[in-house]
Amino acid sequence: MNEKMNRMEFLKSLGLKGASLVAVYCAGGALTSCINESMAPAGNDGGSTPNLVLDLTSSSYSTLNTVGNYVIVNRIVIARVSQTSFAAVTQVCSHEGKAKVTFRSGEFYCSEHGARFDTSGKGLNSNGSRGLTTYRTELSGTNLTVYYS
């Protein structure tokens, strides 16, 4: 029996089953094999807050060098609203919880029922009346940081 099997057998002997067994086994093994897309990327602020850091020179995010464009990362819509500013809001609409918020014509817009929000997250019509959660952004060189808190 190899080491993996021994560890699994040991965890089973503790009474762990199914998802909890996988989670514990995963945490006990190589962490790199356990990363999934729902996890926020690690921040570079010293580790206290898991912020998003987007390199605007990378092909994935260079679209943000053009005013009016946006990207969606970890269910956050990040838009270039002017030459000098960005806005970031949750992709999940406050109207009925659909993850359909995008950016168009200088405002955030939900394609499900048409809720509209300004770049500070304030609702612009009745479906958008509850506003959107916003995230602070900061550009340093070519790195755009989106602060989760």
Which positions lie near ligand FES, rule CB under 6 A?
Answer: 93, 95-96, 98, 100, 110, 112-115, 127
Shortest distance (Å) from residue 82 CB to ligand FES: 25
Residue 41's DSSP bridge partners are: none
Residue 140's DSSP bridge partners are: 143
Using the minimum distance from each CB to ligand FES, give the nearer residue, 80 or 95: 95
Using the minimum distance from each CB to ligand FES, give the nearer residue, 115 or 146: 115
Query: Which candidate, 81, 86, 90, places its Cα nearest to that of 142?
Result: 86
Shortest distance (Å) from residue 39 CB to ligand FES: 25
Shortest distance (Å) from residue 40 CB to ligand FES: 23
DSSP state of 123: B
Q: At what angle do helices 3-13 and 18-28 cross, to 10 degrees?
A: 130
Using the minimum distance from each CB to ligand FES, give the nearer residue, 63 or 120: 120
- Residue written as tokens 């019509």? 125
